[in-house]
Structure 1
Amino acid sequence: MIMLVGVIAILAVLLLPTSTIIAVGDMSYQKLWLGYMSVVFIIGCLFYFNMNEKQCLSFHLFVIWVLIALGGIEAIWGLRQLYGLAVSNHALYALTGSFYNPGPYSGYLAMVFPICLHEWLNVKNVRERRWMQQGKCYLSIGVILLIVCVLPAGMSRSAWIAATISSAWVYGMHASWGSRIKEIGRKYRGRALAAIITGGIVLLMAGYALFHLKADSASGRLFMWKISGLAIAESPLWGHGSGTFASVYGMAQESYFAAGSYTKTEELVAGSPEYAFNEYLQIAVEYGVPFLILILMLIAFCLWKGITEQKIGICGGVISVLVFAFSSYPMQIPGFAIAIFFLLAACVISRSKISLIFFSLIVALLGTYCLKSNQYDACKEWFRVKMMYNIGAYQAAKEEYEVLYPELKNRGAFLFEYGHCLHKLKVYDSSIRMLKEAIQYSSDPMILNIIGKNYHALGEFEKAEEC
């Protein structure tokens, strides 16, 4: 059971308190806790290795029931926010769960939904249930109902589609739809063709309705994917480097608009996003197309292994994430990313100690990296200094920024604040240098505006005009 505690500890990172740095919109606290909780998980694995295999539950069962329990907690959290009994983590949205945004929150619930559905389908037709099976049935159907109550309120079309596709796949696997469809196709070819055409029309109409539900949002994502594709074309093999998406996107978007072949809709929806809202494109931008293919092959292997071993619920969760990741950014949230990582591992690991040892080593390396590269304390201090910056105490803020710079020099928002602070203090050369560093990590056009103001103050009018 100690291993179960380890799985709970590392997957429950999303539920941990965010402290004061929530106002910065930072998630370094999740990385810090992932580092700590990885130690708990490794200790649990060590106990597992010393136990008799017959006394041990399978690793994938731990992952399934921990995620179902966490999904239930998140759904209740969301319901409390909707009824005004809990505070949202974002001023613009009433519903966020433990996340900052209803999009990823809805995606997390969509990931848990097919897992719950599979467990419920497994036990619902058992006539003489033991107390354990009865508990599984009530828990899984309870969480399903909670998610059904909350998911529509999140207004995330990506999550709705992900939950629908993954749940249909799970139910289809239980109902043996594959063999039934083949049999119907052989007996009623004409009717089957008509049904396919009708189904296609219904899907097109549903897609049209979903697009126009939030048309500007959908157009914005299509435009982001278009610009991301242009960025990939610049360096398709090796990518542009880790953490460079925002900067590369900004440059590609600038070139696109400079060419003058844009539409009014694209002009309206253009922005300075941190993410591509498509994990596949973001991976290709930063690491190259070959790396993306390698990742997809690894995921395909995990799915094949999971389906082979009849881990239908877990595979359904993975399919949900794969669909959701097509138009969102689940891998950019540490707590969500680790849940996906554990789902993929659960597809491969069952009672094999060798595979679990290999997985625990990966978790140990990941935890070590999270602890060594963590910026939580620096971000907390940044939040305090940000208040000085906001009230115009620029000299005091500048002194604090100088101390924080070595730890936060890879954060575009921090570098912009530091550079803008220097601009306000009329230290123009230093401000230009700092803001040029910010360009490497951000696509915010305001950076160039401030650089232009610096050049204008220095009398370099041509450079100011260019910026």
Structure 2
Amino acid sequence: MYLSGKINKPAVIDLLIILFTGIILITYNYRKDMLPDGLAFSVQLCSGWFLFRILYTYFPSFPLYTCVGILLFGLVEAVWGLGQLYDFFPSKHRLFKTTGSFMNPGPYGGFIALLFPLALHYWFVFKHTKKWIGYLFLFVGAVCMMVFPATLSRAAWVAAVAGCLPVLLMDTPVVTRLRIFWRRHKRKSIITITIVSILLFGGVYGIYYLKKDSADGRMFMWKITALAISESPLKGTGPGGFSAAYAKAQIEYFKSDKATQAEKLVAGCPDYAFNEYLQIFLEQGLTGIILFLSLTCLIIKNGIKNRQIGAAGSFLALSVFALASYPYRLWEFPVVWIMLGTVCIVQSGYKTVEKQPYSWKKIIPSFLLIAILCSISITGIIKQKEFYQAEREWKKQRSMYKRKAYTAVIDGYAGLYPLLDHKRKFVFEYGRALNESGEKEKADSIFGRGLEISCDAMFYNVRGRNYYEMGEYDKAENCYIKSTLLLPERIYPYFLLTKLYADPANYQPDKMVRAANAVLQKEPKVHSMAIMEMRAEVRKILKEKGISHE
């Protein structure tokens, strides 16, 4: 145990947890303060790690209860998803039926995926000793399997297979049987391996082409994130710095004319890198990613060594899922990461553990540490409660924004801004309300904040329009051009440029024609009434200027 004072592997992992939290605190940009709630949550997670460690020290059976708790929560999620699938419960997303308590089927599928190794492991553990308990774990796995295909998450399928693999290898005699089969039937084994390899290759190919555009889009995100990392590989941007760094890197990439047409088509403005390791590298720098990868490897290694095969398999599944999604940006996954990680570095909880007597010399420091950790967590909860209450108040006031009662919106949003200036949608609404109310200078400041916390091209568009209305045409042009570089295939910024160049106070006919041609000739991803209206207005502008067009 880490309280014994000896240098051991769990103590090394504890030290790495402290160091990684320290890197987050050191790299954070306190002046811009782009992720205040996330910073508080990171400190809470560190406190939670050590609270679980102390709990497992004095109550050796608790790791088992932790795993059971995760499975029960997963069962609730699986039933919730089944209810959504059959229209008993409402979905959290307007385009997808099955999301559980999540806002998207992707993370939901990832959460269900990490339950399979736990359920499978405890089924193997109890099926011969306490069959009824074993069947309960089998039931949880079966319910999860019923809803799992509906998530359509390729990353979750890969994660589930990766997580269950160590369980099958460690909890069953499959390795021994395969060795015996190899010695007795080498020819059949080679044929079998060849067939399985072909099937696996076909499966990977099929998974890729199942949603090819989505896969291409993700690979493009990783490419741009890697380019952003190269700008500051040692220091990183700090927590919350992903969006601005990503936008800058994507603008520079398209500006260089190295991009293919396919890349232009799949380009977007993501909130996350869809690869946690790349995002950690970008935000926490080289030291941060080395610490995090070391933590991940040591936790899985200790889980296998300590015969916590289910927890290790689930932790592996989560780590694999993080390669192609954003689980650590949602509170559920980091909490499960802490729970599974602490389970992995203690001995198997389902075995009978002899109770060790503890002296007051060990108990008193432990209770003092618990008091400190609880104080830190409570302080974080109080701070997060402020953000939560501010968000609730914002949701109440949004009805005025939708009714375009901008004066009332400004009065309400001004008080919430200090707590919600890291929320992209809130900042956008506040800036737009200021713009519509004629407070252009203040709106410009708010839109500038939006560009610090988001890579959404609409912030360039609205800031450019704000400049245009202020008569600052050069600044407006710069914003619109950056928008076209960020998303080259979007038509709206070219429409704004056409209007800018057509203005009598800033008339530039050559530039106007080029922008107008882009509006008229670019093929939109989705045809809509808005596209038709923009094209009609552009034709009208060209006609008024006496310029013919095809």
TM-score, normalised via structure 1 length = 0.83
Equivalence for 1:317: 314
Supply the distance in 2 between the matched residues of 1:47 and 1:164 (Cα, whole angstroms). 31
Identity across the alignment (%):
37
Please report how far the alpha carbon of residue 183 of structure 1 lies from its aligned counterpart in structure 2 after TM superposition.
Answer: 6.3
Please report how far the alpha carbon of residue 362 of structure 1 lies from its aligned counterpart in structure 2 after TM superposition.
Answer: 5.6
Letter in 1 for 2:164: S
Is 2:157 the counterpart of 1:144?
no
Is 2:178 the counterpart of 1:167?
no
Deviations 1:58-94 (A, max 9, x none): 2210111111111111111111111111111121111
Equivalence for 1:213: 210
Equivalence for 1:440: 452
Please report how far the alpha carbon of residue 373 of structure 1 lies from its aligned counterpart in structure 2 after TM superposition.
Answer: 4.2
Instruction: Name the CA shift for 1:233/1:191 in 2 (closer, same or farther; >3 Å).
Output: farther
CA contact (8 A) 1:115 1:317 kept: yes
CA contact (8 A) 1:272 1:445 kept: yes
Equivalence for 1:261: 258
CA contact (8 A) 1:59 1:349 kept: no
Please report how far the alpha carbon of residue 45 of structure 1 lies from its aligned counterpart in structure 2 after TM superposition.
Answer: 9.5
Deviations 1:429-457 (A, max 9, x none): 11111111111100011111111111111
CA contact (8 A) 1:413 1:442 kept: no
Supply the distance in 2 between the matched residues of 1:431 and 1:364 (Cα, whole angstroms). 39
Please report how far the alpha carbon of residue 297 of structure 1 lies from its aligned counterpart in structure 2 after TM superposition.
Answer: 0.8
Is 2:198 the counterpart of 1:201?
yes
Deviations 1:403-454 (A, max 9, x none): 1111112223222211111111121111111111111100011111111111
Matches within 5 A, 1:421-436: 421-436=433-448
Supply the distance in 2 between the matched residues of 1:399 and 1:114 (Cα, whole angstroms). 52
Is 2:240 the counterpart of 1:240?
no
Please report how far the alpha carbon of residue 138 of structure 1 lies from its aligned counterpart in structure 2 after TM superposition.
Answer: 2.0
Deviations 1:28-84 (A, max 9, x none): 89x99x98xx99x97x999988xxx6xx45221011111111111111111111111
Letter in 1 for 2:463: I
- Aligned residue for 2:236, secondary structure, equals coil
Letter in 1 for 2:285: G
Supply the distance in 2 between the matched residues of 1:331 and 1:436 (Cα, whole angstroms). 27
Please report how far the alpha carbon of residue 330 of structure 1 lies from its aligned counterpart in structure 2 after TM superposition.
Answer: 1.0
2:97 to 88, 94, 100: 94
Q: How many residues align?
A: 425
Is 2:347 the counterpart of 1:339?
no
Supply the distance in 2 between the matched residues of 1:176 and 1:261 (Cα, whole angstroms). 53
Deviations 1:270-297 (A, max 9, x none): 1111111111111011111221111111
Deviations 1:376-419 (A, max 9, x none): 00001111222211221111001111111111122232222111
CA contact (8 A) 2:165 2:313 kept: no
Supply the distance in 1 between the matched residues of 2:382 and 2:202 (Cα, whole angstroms). 49
Equivalence for 2:487: none
Matches within 5 A, 1:364-379: 365-374=376-385, 375-379=387-391
CA contact (8 A) 2:56 2:63 kept: no
Deviations 1:196-225 (A, max 9, x none): 444333222111101111111111111111
TM-score, normalised via structure 2 length = 0.71
Deviations 1:156-185 (A, max 9, x none): 111111112211221121224455556666
Supply the distance in 1 between the matched residues of 2:230 and 2:186 (Cα, whole angstroms). 43
Please report how far the alpha carbon of residue 246 of structure 1 lies from its aligned counterpart in structure 2 after TM superposition.
Answer: 1.4
Letter in 2 for 1:273: P
CA contact (8 A) 1:110 1:160 kept: yes
Matches within 5 A, 1:23-102: 56-102=59-105
RMSD: 3.1
| Greater relative contact order (Cα < 8 A, sep 6+) | 1
Equivalence for 1:227: 224
Supply the distance in 2 between the matched residues of 1:197 and 1:47 (Cα, whole angstroms). 49
Instruction: Name the CA shift for 1:234/1:48 in 2 (closer, same or farther; >3 Å).
Output: closer
Supply the distance in 1 between the matched residues of 2:373 and 2:275 (Cα, whole angstroms). 25
Please report how far the alpha carbon of residue 239 of structure 1 lies from its aligned counterpart in structure 2 after TM superposition.
Answer: 0.7
CA contact (8 A) 1:272 1:443 kept: yes
Equivalence for 2:132: 135
Return 265-274 or 368-377, whichever deviates more: 368-377
CA contact (8 A) 2:84 2:97 kept: yes
Supply the distance in 1 between the matched residues of 2:321 and 2:56 (Cα, whole angstroms). 34
Structure label with greater radius of gyration: 2
Letter in 1 for 2:266: V
Instruction: Name the CA shift for 1:46/1:198 in 2 (closer, same or farther; >3 Å).
Output: closer
Equivalence for 2:416: 404
Instruction: Name the CA shift for 1:222/1:46 in 2 (closer, same or farther; >3 Å).
Output: closer
- Aligned residue for 1:87, secondary structure, equals coil
Letter in 2 for 1:84: D
CA contact (8 A) 2:110 2:321 kept: yes
CA contact (8 A) 2:56 2:62 kept: no
Instruction: Name the CA shift for 1:226/1:190 in 2 (closer, same or farther; >3 Å).
Output: farther
Where structure 1 has 5 or more consecutive residues not aligned to the other structure, the ranges are 1-27
Please report how far the alpha carbon of residue 303 of structure 1 lies from its aligned counterpart in structure 2 after TM superposition.
Answer: 1.5
Letter in 2 for 1:368: T
Letter in 2 for 1:101: N
